[in-house]
Structure 1
Amino acid sequence: MVKVFNSVKNSFLFFILLLLSNLSVCRAQNNEIKKIDELLQKSENSFRNLNDLDQLRYAKQANVLARKINNSQRITESYFSMARSLSFLEMQKESFIYISKASEQPYSKKSTLIQAQLKDIKVYNYYHLGLHTQAKKELTDIVNLLKDDKSKKAILLLQKTYLVIGLYKTDSARYYAQLCFNKLKQLPEKEVYLELSDLYRGLGTQFLKNNKDSSFYYFNKSLEVNKKYHHPVLLLDYIAFGDYYSEQKEYKEAISYYQKAIQNIKEQSATPELSANNDLYKKISDLYGKTGEKQKQAEYEQIYFGLQKKLISERTKNINYALHIILNDKQDQYKDSERRDNMYILIGTGILLIMAFLGYKLLRKNSEKKIPDTETADVSQENNPILYNKTPEIDELQITANPAYHEVMELAKNNDASFYFRFQEAYPEFQKKLLEYNPGLRVSELTFCAYLFLGFNTKDIAKYTFKSVHTIRNRKQNIRKKFNIQSDQDAEFWLINLIKTKKNS
């Protein structure tokens, strides 16, 4: 009886410990979900305040946590935010990559809303790539996906879609504008005032050429609704009024509103499309030219040209930052995969050990004979050298850069967006030496030189970068001119010798 009691007691204690353990795991997972949701909200707030780099940064942090607990919904949502931020950073190719990652998630396959949201980013990407037919198809798909969805996010996306369709179908613009109003009326104004503002501005722009009173009315409605809810980013309204007064030839008033837009950008650290701020200086310069104020025209024109130079640097900086995040994402995914593989190996090893133990016990039971121990022998493996059809200089670089060399080669063959970023990490002296020789080299030219440096021939580069052989030959010829390479010299060998010489000097 005592034995039975002890057995029941032990079973009960084990059950309690198991229950407490499960509660602890659930609580920890709930805390992780809370952190992820906070990061996703920060990412969304950054998007609404036109801060695309912060949007990307917060989304990436959320994605790392979501992958750790394998939460498909939040993995999908974080990929969506990353794709959207990359799209606005003018990195359409990278944006499409994360759209694809999000689409592959189980949550995405069953959620028509997230499918529509991903298509919305595609519309923006296709528009900026000049692929208007494809953009229109995505717009139609969004309408079909959301026509029966009554959720807030679906309503907001659907009204935005109608607005864009109206821009494409100018003859039916008022009809689609009314559809937008009808959708927004279904929600409290406080929750949709930004969307109302966009709609009013869009209508004001449509009337700008033909009906100045209606245009002013809608621009004013947009500004009023933003001020009503104390939205700090008013630059789009100020630009709209600047365009209005410029159209009415009231140049002083137009200049005043453009200057307000510039001030608002500085105060809010907003990042509209990279060229928007520069265009404002160009508009002001042109207007001062029309008012005959040549000195101020020249002053703003000089600022404009200076900013254009900075724009290239800023674009490069933003792209490098974004690529850094993408590269870290690839490394995190590799670590996750490695962790899973190690877990499978441990589980497999454990199962084999248990089976071996049970088999041993069974044989021991059925036979009194000794089972001789199986001796294990170490097998030595020779490391055969891998021969590459490359110059001795490249062999030397391969050894010094190993294992990064193989990774860089794979990135190059896959035409991966992070190829040049990773190449710079592997060969930090490369860009420095080339720019010392020719400071005017663009990023695309440096990337092309990296392919040559790694020993890729013309056909290989054409194949891996999806360009024609003729195009690659032209680019190689341009490189020869930039470096003044003689016609009897091989461009690849000349480049390698340049880097080697610079390195040894």
Structure 2
Amino acid sequence: MRHYIVTFLLCLPLFFSSQSSKKESDSLNKVIFQLRKDGQLDDALALCKKIIKDRSSALNDKELLSLYIQTGNILCNLSRVKESFDYLELAMEGNQKLQDNEIEARIYGEYGRNYNILGFSQKAIEHFTKSIDLATKIEDQKTKKPLLQYLYSARAVIYEDTNQVDELYSDLHHAYENNPDTYGASRLAKYFTVHRQDLDSAKYYLQKGEQSFSTGKFPIFQKSILLRSYGRYYFAKKDHQKAISYYKESLAISEELKKPKDIKDTEKLLYEAYKAIDDDQKANESLEKYSKISDSLSFENKKIQETPIKHILREKEAEVKEKEKNYIYLVIIILLTVLVVGYYILKRISRSTQDEKQEIISENEAKTQELKLKVNQSFDEVVQLAKNNSPEFWGRFQEVYPDFRDKLLAVNPDLKPSELILSAYIYLGFMTKDIADYTFKAVKTIKNNKYNLRKRLEIPTESDFTIWIRNYLS
């Protein structure tokens, strides 16, 4: 029945006259908000795409760009990163004409979320920082505060994944201060439970989160985060059965919303809780689900690694073009100033200008070519040696990534050669099953080895192994 209602809503705007476009826009935004609030992300996405296809001409520039950004946001929530980048590119191109700070801040924020999903943590932080700087310039407080809350919360996720605890608390505090909600309260409760072991403060924010959610203003997704924080709280109090109950409630919501990363994180927490009560069967079931989703996400992210690389290259190219444009302006001023000196001097300046411009272009092309060669040749060669289980693999890997071994040994100097080689396989993005196939070992053996290696490297339980090792060694 719900799908029939959504289909009706999709078609309803087509019957309205162009004179009522503002009312249409407000009405449709409410429908999209309600769908997202109820966790119906697929339906919200379908509605956004329908409006873009059939009604984009009836929207003003800012409304259309906002719709592109909202579509990119939903796709990011569904872990469809490549499609999300496509819609954000449309928004960025459109804003070159509009030059709206709010639009640009939202675009950079969504870029940051996508980069984080792909494991480009530093790039994500750069985009969030730029986004926050732009958002602080917004004069309308009703727009500014919720946006800053969203951006600080999103950047805090990266600081938590990279174990930057002081920065994590600062961003969580700024987020909650700007616009208190269930999500922000839940994240603060987790911070005080996991990083401070201050259960009284954690309980305070859990209660704040419940109060916020009871208002009915916040999406069901935030309830799943609150339940997970409750689970951590009771796990810390060693009430493991109660923790499991909260984790299961959170997991049910995440499964309904089709949020694989949240499902993965909750299965990891369930594994730890079941281990605490010596329920090995259920612990192994949760670990199996966690590993399966983790491998799947790593595989999907690996397939679209070229997407952020292309975007980074476009950003660099845009920076070069901007420098060239500014340089040309400067040259014009100089030429106008010295025109009276004579044709000879003008000719020399012009020639110098062209030479320097060509040098900039050549340098940029050389850097681009160098990046492509590094990405394509060395990486492909090392991957093939790994697949062949070649005895030359470890030596060649260290040539391509010379700091890899020393950085890992700095974390734990007692790592065995076999653990270093396993780390190399993980760094290259191989899934558990692939590693088992290529090294002629059982899948269960590789899973146990990965789990033991995670403990020896003291990797946080919430962190994805592949993303952690790439961030640490980048």
TM-score by length of 1: 0.50
Matched residue of 1:237: which SS?
helix
Structure 1: how far apart are the matches of 2:227 and 2:243? 9
Counterpart Cα distance in 1 of 2:215 and 2:227: 16
Deviation at 1:88, TM superposition (A): 2.1
| Deviation of the 1:232 alpha carbon | 6.9
| Partner amino acid, structure 2, of 1:215 | A
Instruction: Tell me which of 226, 233, 254 is aligned to 2:213.
Output: 226
| 1:289 aligned onto 2:278 | no
- Whole-angstrom distance in 1 between the partners of 2:387 and 2:18: 55
Evaluate the alpha carbon distance shift between residue 470 and residue 65 of structure 1 in structure 2; reply closer, same or farther with a 3 A threshold. Answer: same
1:103 paired with 2:103, answer: no
Aligned to 1:152: 142
Task: Spell out the pairing of 1:105-504 with structure 2 (5 A cutoff).
Answer: 105=94, 109-148=98-137, 149-164=139-154, 168=159, 170-171=165-166, 176-177=171-172, 179-184=174-179, 195-208=180-193, 209-229=196-216, 233=220, 234-265=223-254, 269-272=256-259, 274-292=260-278, 294=279, 297-299=280-282, 301-302=284-285, 305=288, 467-469=375-377, 471=379
- Bigger-Rg structure (1/2): 1
Distance 1:121 1:252, change over 3 A: same
CA contact (8 A) 2:231 2:245 kept: yes
Note the alpha carbon deviations across 1:196-236, whole angstroms, 9 max, x for none: 22221222122114311111211221122212437572221
Measure, in 1, the Cα distance between the counterparts of 2:151 and 2:381. Answer: 44
- Alpha-carbon contact 2:181-2:218 (below 8 Å) kept: no
> 1: CA distance between counterparts of 2:373 and 2:42?
27
Choose 224-233 or 118-127, whichever is displaced more: 224-233
1:245–1:251 contact (8 Å) kept in structure 2: yes
Deviations 1:369-403 (A, max 9, x none): xxxxxxxxxxxxxxxxxxxxxxxxxxxxxxxxxxx
C-alpha contact 2:274 2:282 (8 A) present in aligned 1? no
Cα RMSD of the aligned pairs, angstroms, is: 4.2
Amino acid paired to 1:226: F
Higher normalized helix content (fraction of residues): 2
Partner of 1:61: 50
Write the deviation string for residues 424-445 of structure 1: whole angstroms up to 9, x where unpaired: xxxxxxxxxxxxxxxxxxxxxx
> Residues 313 and 129 (structure 1 numbering): CA distance in 2 closer, same or farther, change over 3 Å?
closer
Q: CA deviation at 1:264?
A: 4.1
Aligned 1:9-88 pairs, distance under 5 A: 28-31=17-20, 34-69=23-58, 71-88=60-77
Taking structure 1 as reference, are residues 28 and 117 closer, same or farther at Cα in structure 2, changes over 3 Å only? same
2:284 aligned counterpart, secondary structure: helix
Shift of 1:258: 1.3
Distance 2:125 2:72 in 1: 20
State the SS of the aligned residue for 2:79: coil
Tell me the TM-score normalised to structure 2 length.
0.52
Residues in 2 aligned to 1:68 and 1:480: alpha-carbon distance in whole angstroms: 55
- The answer to whether the Cα contact below 8 Å between 2:209 and 2:226 also exists between their aligned partners in 1 is yes
Q: Distance in 2 between matches of 1:77 and 1:465?
A: 38
For residue 132 of structure 1, report the CA deviation from its aligned partner.
2.9
Query: Which residue identity is paired with 2:266?
Result: L
Cα offset for 1:479? Answer: 10
Tell me the distance in 2 between the aligned counterparts of 1:222 and 1:307.
27
Q: Which runs of 5+ in 1 are unaligned?
A: 1-26, 185-194, 318-462, 482-505
1:310 to 1:155, Cα distance in 2 relative to 1, 3 A = closer
State the secondary structure of the residue aligned to 1:90.
coil
Check 1:471–1:72 CA distance in 2 against 1; reply closer, same or farther (3 A cut).
Answer: same
Q: Distance in 1 between matches of 2:381 and 2:298?
A: 28
Q: 1:273-305: per-residue Cα shift (whole Å, max 9, x none)?
A: x1423443443343233223x3xx414633663
In the superposition, relative to structure 1, how do residues 84 and 174 fare at CA in structure 2: closer, same or farther (>3 Å)? closer
Match for 1:171: what amino acid?
A: D
Runs of 4+ in 1 over 6 A off after TM superposition: 310-317, 463-466, 473-481
- Cα distance between partner residues in 1 of 2:283 and 2:52: 43
Q: Which has the higher contact order (CA 8 A, sep 6+)?
A: 2
Q: CA deviation at 1:120?
A: 1.0
Distance 1:36 1:243, change over 3 A: same
The residue type paired with residue 289 of structure 1 is K
Change (3 A) 1:307 1:213: closer
1:470 & 1:280 partners in 2: Cα distance? Answer: 37
* Percent identity between the two aligned chains: 19
Query: How many angstroms apart in 1 are the aligned matches of 2:152 and 2:206?
Result: 19
Separation in 1, partners of 2:188, 2:48: 33
How far apart are 1:121 and its partner, in Å?
0.5
Residue segments in structure 2 that go unaligned for 5+ positions in a row: 1-15, 301-370, 390-474
Aligned residues: 300
The code of the aligned residue for 1:302 comes to E
State how far apart, in whole Å, the 1-side matches of 2:298 and 2:96 are.
34
Distance 1:112 1:290 in 2: 50
Residues 235 and 262, structure 1, Cα contact 8 Å, conserved in 2: yes
Q: Secondary structure in 2 aligned to 1:105?
A: helix
Alpha carbons of structure 1 residues 62 and 312: separation in structure 2 relative to 1, 3 Å: farther
Structure 2 vs 1, CA of residues 289 and 312 (structure 1 numbering), >3 Å: closer, same or farther?
A: closer
The letter of the residue matching 2:181 is L
1:119/1:138 contact within 8 Å kept: yes
